[in-house]
Amino acid sequence: MINRPIIFKSSGRGGPIGQQLLYRAIQRPVAAAALLVGGGLTLGLGIGVAGNLAMHAQLQQQRAEVAATQQEAQREINALAARLGELQAEANRLNALGERLTRIGQLQDGEFDFNKPVGVGGDEGAIEDMPREALDDELASLDMQFRHAGGQLSVLESLLFNRQLDMASVPAGEPIDSYITSHYGYRADPFRGGRKFHAGIDFEADVGDPVKAVADGVVSFAGNKSGYGYTVEIDHGNGFMTRYAHNSRLVRKVGEPIRAGQEIAKAGSTGRSTGAHVHFEVWQDGRAVNPRQFLGQRSPLTG
Ligand SMILES: [Zn+2]
């Protein structure tokens, strides 16, 4: 009777596992307990070992990743170092250019010191990894050199540009290969007597002689002007304008760009004129000024 289950009806094919355990526990409680504890221990140990193994693998993987990242970073640093070398070469080129421009422009300005050598890392010996700090230092230094050279070059450029502009668009030379017959200033009025202000300079000319622009510019007037006859005016920018009057014929139209020395008209005696000549005026900032200060040295009358 004792071997028979009390609660459950015996079923030869066994029942659910829980029922069987319960059944066995009831039959052999100590063995069942031992089995349960032993199983738990084994399971616990197993879990422990497996966890260690997994952690170890994870550490290994992390180490490998860190190493790979470091390698990658170093590769990037080395690539940056190579780029740095190129930039240093570029800095050298800029300095050489600045030096050449300074020489061509004959600039005496002490501000320009393109001779200053650019620090270039030696490329002799085996290629070593460049330390990150050294790279940062070199980059900062190069950045400063670029700023310096860039600033100097832009100043130099504007200087040269202005000089070129000034040279081309400031009246210089004479409108005709001839000599002066009447100067700028007050003179006797050949028509009405008395004194009259002569706002320009007269050059002796024959009808048909070429009249030339004294500087680069754009034709701002070409036509008949009261008293002046057939007249050409050229705007040179920078506030300068020149006027050429009493021509027999005009050969340029308003808006045409003109280079210094180019023919703009044929000399004549149109307008209020006593004979063929070129009346030449220079205007600066809206006022007629003495053209003599702009004339070349070749005129026999300029003294
Ligand atoms: Zn005149």
pLDDT digits (tens, 9 = 90+) for 74-87: 888 888 888 888 88
C-alpha of residue 199 to centroid of ligand 1, in Å: 7
Classify domain 180-294 at the CATH topology level. Glucose Permease (Domain IIA) (2.70.70)
CA–CA gap between residue 13 and residue 232 (Å, rounded): 128
Neighbours of 176 (CB within 10 A): 20
Q: For residue 262, what pLDDT is reported?
A: 95
**Which pLDDT tens digit goes with each residue over 79-114?**
888 888 888 777 777 777 777 766 666 665 555 555
The Cα-based distances of 297 to 10, 32, 97, 303 in angstroms read: 140, 129, 35, 9
Average pLDDT over residues 129-145: 81
**Residue 73 pLDDT more than 90?**
no
C-alpha of residue 282 to centroid of ligand 1, in Å: 12
C-alpha of residue 222 to centroid of ligand 1, in Å: 17
Q: For residue 140, what pLDDT is reported?
A: 84
More confident of the two residues 165 and 174: 174
C-alpha of residue 224 to centroid of ligand 1, in Å: 15
Q: Would you kindly state where each structural domain of the chain is located, as residue ranges?
A: 180-294
pLDDT bucket at 7, cuts 50 / 70 / 90? very low
C-alpha of residue 159 to centroid of ligand 1, in Å: 36
Residue ranges with CB less than 5 Å from ion ligand 1: 202, 279
C-alpha of residue 55 to centroid of ligand 1, in Å: 105
pLDDT bucket at 5, cuts 50 / 70 / 90? very low
C-alpha of residue 258 to centroid of ligand 1, in Å: 23
More confident of the two residues 86 and 273: 273
Mean confidence (pLDDT) of the chain: 78
Q: For residue 40, what pLDDT is reported?
A: 66
Give the angle 174-180-186 at the CA atoms, nearest 5°. Answer: 110
Contact yes or no for 173/241 (Cβ under 8 A):
no
Residue 231's nearest CA partner among 239, 242, 240 is 242
C-alpha of residue 185 to centroid of ligand 1, in Å: 10
C-alpha of residue 230 to centroid of ligand 1, in Å: 13
The Cα-based distances of 37 to 21, 49, 177 in angstroms read: 14, 18, 126
